Structure 1
Amino acid sequence: MERISAFFSSIWDTILTKHQEGIYNTICLGVLLGLPLLVIITLLFICCHCCWSPPGKRGQQPEKKKKKKKKKDEEDLWISAQPKLLQMEKRPSLPV
């Protein structure tokens, strides 16, 4: 028990010493001490989300039915006999 108390006492002394050295050290210590807490909270959130979410929403999406195009009995493959004439009419005339 004394070792644990001495460990936390030495950590507290280090924090006080760094705080007295400047604000930059205080901010760095705050970030370093906050990161493990952030990781624990994140893991707790992820575990609770996985355990308590409904079974249909656990990343398993229902299979979507693929729509197939229905083929017509007769496909229209007729090509105009005069496609260039129709295109020529749409173009403006050029002066010669």
Structure 2
Amino acid sequence: MERISAFFIAIWDTISTKHQEGLFNTICLGVLLGLPLLVIVTLVFICCHCCWSRRGKSGQQPERNKRKKKKKGEEDLWISAQPKLLQLEKRPSLPV
């Protein structure tokens, strides 16, 4: 327990010394001490966002699948590259 308190006392002494040396050192210390906190907050935000997004999508998938089923006689409206290639082959070439 004494080692832990000695560690924090040493850190506090360093911060106090740098603060007394000037404003630039205080700003640098604030940035250096704030970066790990910013990284932790960002990681927590990203993890929570991913978890909430995954839950929402899994609950909505069955509804989407029901809507995507085709009815009889309904055409598929997707355009693929394959018909374009076939049309290019059928065109006559231009005389040079």
TM-score, normalization by structure 2:
0.59
Please report the RMSD computed on the Cα atoms of aligned residues, expressed in angstroms.
2.7
Q: Which has the higher helix share?
A: 2
State the one-letter code of the partner of 1:11: I
- Pair 1:31 & 2:43 matched: no
- Pair 1:55 & 2:57 matched: yes
Partner of 2:79: 67
State the one-letter code of the partner of 1:47: C
- Pair 1:14 & 2:14 matched: yes
Partner of 1:40: 40
- Stretches of structure 2 that go unaligned for 5 or more consecutive residues are 59-76, 84-91
* SS across alignment from 2:78: coil
State the one-letter code of the partner of 1:35: L
1:70-89 aligned within 5 A = none
- Stretches of structure 1 that go unaligned for 5 or more consecutive residues are 57-64, 70-76, 78-96
Q: Distance in 1 between matches of 2:5 and 2:52?
A: 38
Q: How much has 1:52 moved relative to structure 2?
A: 1.1
After TM superposition, what 4+ stretches of structure 1 lie above 6 angstroms from structure 2? none
